[in-house]
Amino acid sequence: MTRSFDRMLDKAFHGKSVADILNASPAALQGLSASDAQRLEEVFGIRTIRDLARNRFFQRSLALLNASGETHFDPGPPVQWRDFLASAPLDYYVHHASRRFRIDFGPVYYRGRLDGTARILVVGQDPSTNEILGQRILVGSSGQRVQGFLRKLGITRSYVMANLFLFSVFGQVDAELRAIALEEPILTFRNSFFDRLAQENNLQAVVVIGKGAQLAVDNWPGSQEHPVFEIQHPAALDEAAVLATWNSALTLLRPIVEPDDDGSPDPSPYGSSFAPEDAAPIPRFDLPFGLPEWHGNGSHSHRDGNKNIVWTAP
Ligand code: URA
């Protein structure tokens, strides 16, 4: 335990390990008395500092505070998500015999709300370079088009996004990758992730971006419980065909998806190709603290053909 925690604790706990302190009664916190701790136990069943930190009412209050717009960055997964995300089968990806995953820069897990306020689950395929650098999915050109799609529904922040794969893939999602996507433990982890998102949020719709994402949702038993809308991937070449599916989905989504308070639903349909204004910048509250202001607006990275990502400031 670093000495810097001492000022939060009663003297008897100074210098103790984090594990010991988390297992101690909340009365070890300076300013919280033994009778306060007793009341916490009586009312909430809280016996330790760990229980206090994980208590769902405190967690929800914190989520509300964060959702009030006071933070201009995404602080990362809340404590109740950390053990689950840490259980992702990263070794399985890294050592996969197919060598189809780009493992050098690590996985990217999600984007959006993990605080129970999502009403739309967006499912994508795999992260690319902008996503790796931003450590959030769908933040590059495709993500900004998807953000524009949500904006048309008046959704400004009540979404969460997850991909078919945690790692970027080499090439297209072909027969080999489609089979790998259904291998254990990839399948079970992804389905548990989706199940948990569905349990913790009042999802009004699942929006599925392209064929790879569709594979994920087709193999998620929990998808039966939700209205599912497949739209073509924004990076597909035939933009007229892509946007026809986006227009149809919008027509079906508008009556069932409630806009956010600060959203302005836009009833105008897409044209036959993407216009620059169809893309929306990724909100700062979706991105980690300290990323350059231009990340999430335009595309600023690519691979050089080797193991390098080239990141260019505008
Ligand atoms: N496309 C996807 O489907 N997912 C991403 O994370 C990025 C691009």
What is the 3-class SS of 169-225, one letter each residue?
A: ECCCCCHHHHHHHCCCCHHHHHHHHHHHHHHHCCCCEEEEEHHHHHHHHHCCHHHHH
Is the pLDDT at 292 greater than 90, yes or no?
yes
Would the CA dihedral through 53, 55, 61, 63 be positive or negative? positive
Task: State whether the beta carbon of 142 lies less than 6 angstroms from ligand 1.
Answer: yes
Mean pLDDT in residue range 96-114: 96
E strand or H helix at 310: strand 309-311
What's at 145, amino acid-wise?
R
Q: Does 240 have pLDDT greater than 90? A: yes
pLDDT at 95 over 90: yes
Check pLDDT > 60 for residue 3. no
Burial class (CB in 10 A: 0-12, 13-18, 19+), 241: exposed
Instruction: Answer yes or no: is the C-beta of 125 below 6 A from any ligand 1 atom.
Output: yes
Residues sharing a CB contact under 8 Å with residue 249, sequence separation 6 or more, in sequence order: 207, 229, 230, 231
Contact 55, 46 (CB under 8 A): yes
The pTM assigned to this predicted structure is: 0.90
pLDDT at 4 over 90: no
**Pocket residue to mutate for ligand 1, from 101, 102, 123, 125, most atoms within 8 A of Cβ:** 125
Specify whether the CB–CB gap between 89 and 189 falls below 8 A: yes
User: How many Å lie between the centroid of ligand 1 and the Cα of residue 125?
Assistant: 5
Tell me the CB-side half-sphere exposure of residue 238, using CA atoms within 13 A.
7
Q: What is the pLDDT of residue 1?
A: 43
